[in-house]
Amino acid sequence: MDKLLIEGGLKLRGEVTISGAKNSVLPILAATLLTEDACIIKGVPDLRDTNTMLKILKSLGKAVEFDKGVVIVTQAKNANYVADYKLVSTMRASFCVLGPLLARLKKAKVSLPGGCIIGVRPVDLHLKGMRALNSQIDIESGYVLAKTQKLKGANIYLGGEYGSSVLATDNVMMAATLASGRTVLESAACEPEVHDLAEFLIKMGAKIRGHGTPIVEIEGVRELHGAEHKIIPDRIEAGTFLLAALITGGDVIIKNVFAKHLGAVIDKLQESGACLDICDNSIRIRHRKHLSPTNITTLPYPGFPTDMQAQIMSLMAVTEGISVITEKIYPDRFMHVAELNRMGAHIQREGPHAIVSGVKCLSGAPVMASDLRASACLLLAGLVAGGKTSISRIYHLERGYENIEEKFRNLGARIWREKE
């Protein structure tokens, strides 16, 4: 197992190109199960999660080629309807194969999912949607067993305790494309990644309207065909590099980024005092001498993303004054707080709130990553901390950031990996 080592204190300068969105590519790869035709997906990041999804597709009867950011998926043999525990349990997004398998094969056996430990994330909305589409759902020995004679369109409310669910919207939307009649999803997730999936499904022949809004309408079709699609840029990776430039006092141009997908993040950075030059597909960010604290509340899109909460906490930890960060999506997503405090931060948790009292500097220390975004948070802290920071369990980082060490080194960071 590897660990990541960082010598902090250097200002990042230069250009970095953002990879395709992890949270788009995983459900889009799952959507290839809806057809036997060939599908070509471009701009695919080479991530641990991507490769896990490709293994799942192979286990379900697909042939997969992956080279230089392009994935070609074709039918290799008779389709399999069982998504095994050993693969699905490692990555929550793999549960998205349930909808496509049920729609095309009329049955599915999918392990309950795993992934980052960031609090309770039930699949009740996924199952609610499948039942509403006229399928029988049972849970047995850690697997969801789903079957149907014929999926039928329905009006389905997908709001949950903490708002809309991206993966449930993805899963039910995919199943509804082959259901008879009209399906209306209310309180659907509006994230750009959901919109990207819908655009791919439309290229496959699906009839979808309203994607990117809380009301999505799907008119079922008899079959879908192959399609070619390019993945949108990863807004969370882009946001992470924006914060990395700012926390180090650097000057960085972020390329292959859609600023419209980062509205809430950009607003908070500007409120804090960052200088941003925004173009069509790039953002330049520069540091001003004095940054101000800012309060953050995570919300479903277009609100401030929960996947950026840990990273902005690193910035607020070294910004003079008091910031309050409120987590409304996953109230237990604060496992990085203790590790930041080990580096000299002053952060106190009060339920779903983290009260951050900014300090002048952090100190390098051995820390442990608990999940994907906590890994990025500790990396940012290491970039600004005095001395050397050692981050263990970096396999979390590999799940969501492509070539991250190389990208940071190209910006001037001292960062490398060693065996534990």
List the catalytic residues: 116
Residue where the block lists tokens 């655009």 = 199
Q: Are 222 and 204 in contact (CB under 8 A)?
A: no
d(CA 207, CA 230): 19
User: C-alpha angle 169/172/175, rounded to 5°?
Assistant: 145
How far does the chain reach from its first CA to its final CA, in angstroms? 6
d(CA 267, CA 299): 14
Q: Which residues contact 141 (CB under 8 A, 6 or more apart)?
A: none
User: C-alpha angle 379/280/230, rounded to 5°?
Assistant: 75
Q: Using DSSP bridges, classify how beta strands 182-186 and 215-219 pair: parallel, antiparallel or unpaired.
A: antiparallel
d(CA 191, CA 262): 11
Question: 116-147: string of b/e by CB count within 10 Å (b at 16+)?
Answer: bebbebebebbbbbbebbbbebeeeeebbebe
d(CA 336, CA 375): 8
